[in-house]
Amino acid sequence: MGTVFTACSSGTGRSEEKPVPNIAVLLTEGFHDAEAYMPMGYLVNKGFDVTVIGPEKGLVKAYNSEFTIVVERDMDELVTDDFDVLVIPGGQAPAALREDPAVVAFVRAFFETGKPVAAICHGPQVLITAGVMEGMTSSGYSGIREELESAGATYMDQALVTDKNLITSRVPADLAVFSRAIGETLEDWK
């Protein structure tokens, strides 16, 4: 049996008046295990709340292992104000996510708020379909370079690329810098 992960609140017990930032991680079947687990674990350990969102609630499985994650909230329940950051891991999931009109509409609306959006590997494909990559500088898996450029983005083959509210990385080897960059966008909350 595979490992099941459910995101959770930080449980820090903090009593300051600022709410703990809530990070949405967008997943469906076929996500890359490390590209979901590492940012989630890092951010929970930094004291942030993480909520897994997706087209449907329930258990979804990684394409590259037996790891599974529980999608806690589906698209019908979401408003952009509920979250402070949106993370889109890669793998095969972005190909399915970009075909769902509700997902694409949410991603577009979230991006347009100006809040941070972080995507790794194939994750930027969802942003391409959402129509928000025109004029942006982005990293991502090298196999989507032409697609990014066709969408009007400038592709950079770097471990971490940030442009306005967009944080992007290429591959699992970039996960440490990717996860840290997401956390750093929220440091002023602490």
> For 48-64, how does the pLDDT look when each residue is reduced to its tens digit (9 = 90+)?
999 999 999 999 999 99
Task: Give yes or no for residue 12 having a pLDDT over 90.
Answer: no
Those residues with Cβ within 8 angstroms of residue 56's Cβ, 6 or more apart along the chain or in another chain: 28, 71, 74
pLDDT of residue 174: 98
Contact present, 165 and 108 (Cβ < 8 Å): no
Per-residue model confidence as pLDDT tens digits over 86-111: 999 999 999 999 999 999 999 999 99
Those residues with Cβ within 8 angstroms of residue 99's Cβ, 6 or more apart along the chain or in another chain: none
Distance of CA 23 to the CA centre of its chain: 9
CA separation, residue 156 to residues 84, 122, 163 (Å): 26, 14, 11
What mean pLDDT is reported for the chain? Answer: 92
pLDDT over 70, % of the chain: 89
Q: Where are the domains of the chain?
A: 21-189
Apex 91 CA angle, 83 and 71, nearest 5: 40
pLDDT of residue 7: 56
pLDDT of residue 64: 97
CA separation, residue 34 to residues 1, 109, 150, 152 (Å): 18, 27, 28, 29
Q: How confident is the model at residue 13 (pLDDT cuts 50, 70, 90)?
A: very low
For the domain spanning 21-189, the CATH number is: 3.40.50.880
CA separation, residue 15 to residues 19, 85, 118, 123, 189 (Å): 9, 22, 28, 35, 13
pLDDT of residue 17: 60
Q: How confident is the model at residue 189 (pLDDT cuts 50, 70, 90)?
A: low
> What distance in Å separates the CA atoms of residue 190 and residue 187, rounded to the nearest whole number?
6
Q: How confident is the model at residue 3 (pLDDT cuts 50, 70, 90)?
A: very low
pTM of the model: 0.91
Residue type, 27: L
Task: Give yes or no for residue 15 having a pLDDT over 50.
Answer: no
User: DSSP labels for 174-187?
Assistant: GHHHHHHHHHHHTG
Per-residue model confidence as pLDDT tens digits over 105-144: 999 999 999 999 999 999 999 999 999 999 999 999 999 9
Q: How confident is the model at residue 156 (pLDDT cuts 50, 70, 90)?
A: very high
User: DSSP labels for 62-82?
Assistant: -SSSS-EEEE-EEGGG--GGG
Distance of CA 95 to the CA centre of its chain: 14
Q: Which residues participate in catalysis according to the annotation?
A: 122
Residue 29: phi, psi to the nearest 5?
A: -50, 135
